[in-house]
Homo-oligomer: A and B are copies of this chain.
Amino acid sequence: MKIVVLGGDGFCGWPTSLHLSQQGHDVTIVDNLSRRAIDIELEVSSLTPIMPMGTRLRAWKEVSGKTIDFQLLDLAEDFEELRSLLRELRPDAIVHFGEQRAAPYSMRTPKAKRYTVDNNVRATHNVLAAVVAEGLDPAIVHLGTMGVYGYGWSGSAPIPEGYLSVKVPTPDGDLEREILHPANPGSVYHLTKTLDQLLFAFYAKNDGLRITDLHQGIVWGTQTPATSRDERLINRFDYDGDYGTVLNRFLMQAAIGHPLTVHGTGGQTRAFIHIRDTVRCVQMAIENPPAPGTRVSVFNQITETYRVVDLAKLVADLTGAEVAYLPNPRQEAEANDLVVTNDRFMALGREPTTLSEGLMEEVTEIAGKYRDRVDTSKIIARSVWRQGMETSPDLV
């Protein structure tokens, strides 16, 4: 298949691109390299030394014999270039990771809020409008987030995969309806993913586009079999307070002897998935698109759920690290339950990677190997949800 990976330079996009290329697909990466630009803005770097795109692609060619093309293109701005590219390639599938993806960054400043909305909404809409304008019918696979649902909204009912069955009272009795699960985003970033859902629903209905939305949990891990093949292919590892994800941050903190930073009570329950599974799931989504004329296909791309405090204890027990309870810069419930349905997702035949000592040690080893690259002043999360909220000073 000819596959375009939008945002193919990022934490999920890069290993997905390699995985799809490894599977024999003809992959073109489209990226504006904004994630690297934001590193410059935040004065922080990936813990792992990621290579420039040219080096990455040459290394991939060397180790695999396969060619991946790269187009430097801003999805939100360069609509005509995007159209030309699609016209030329006529891809069988488009994987869309091309969005600003950090909740804390999206709340950091007015400028970052605006960038997140302006970039993400326009990128998604431009992709849909370009596909329609060119009369194409690719499988479109988008990375959503579990955060569109919010937490603790539906009591003991598990969060469904996208669509919620409800009864609507009418004068003639209850009407059963399946609705898109009500949106309960917790940040501007999550908000943009709820906007994406409405864009997808409209273009599926009006234009018959075949779209899959993968509501992914928090990704952990760094490497996949493909990114491990050469050090120049190494995936990025974000440890800072804006882009770092919680479990990877704990493992990095343990590796450098920093207390594990639990912001708030740690009672937040979240869903998790390993990066190895992300890439396989995207592949399965591409191979199982919805039928034309049907609604958007939604999967909950998660493997297991944990309370943040339990994750911290797990890592502390494994490594002897201390746990530090810090002020929470987010506006969120102190604690929540989280029961999630992922039956459709599991039915695709995946054998999921669960949290295990061996895998966590792999991450800790990577963190240990590159520990000299850590800037400890970047560890504490300080992007506050509202002006004036308390944050912690550096711990070391």
Give A contacts to B, CB under 8 Å: 79, 83, 110, 113-114, 117-118, 121-122, 125-126, 129-130, 132-133, 135, 153-157, 164-172, 174-175, 177, 179-180, 182-183, 185, 188, 191, 194-195, 198-199, 201-202, 206-207, 331, 385-387
- Which B residues touch A185, using CB under 8 A? 198, 202
Are the C-beta atoms of B198 and A169 separated by less than 8 Å? no
Are the C-beta atoms of A174 and B182 separated by less than 8 Å? no
Nearest CB on B from A280, distance (A): 31
- Which B residues touch A132, using CB under 8 A? 110
Given known A114-B79, A121-B117, contact A206–B385 (CB-CB < 8 A): yes
- Which B residues touch A113, using CB under 8 A? 125, 129
- Which B residues touch A154, using CB under 8 A? 168, 170, 175, 177
- Which B residues touch A387, using CB under 8 A? 135
For A130, give its contact among B110, B155, B157, B174 (CB under 8 Å): B110
Given contacts A117-B125, A166-B179, list 5 more A-B pairs with CB under 8 A.
A79-B114, A154-B177, A155-B175, A156-B172, A166-B168
- Cα–Cα, bound, A175→B130 (Å): 42
- Which B residues touch A126, using CB under 8 A? 114
- Which B residues touch A385, using CB under 8 A? 206
For A168, give its contact among B164, B188, B207 (CB under 8 Å): B164
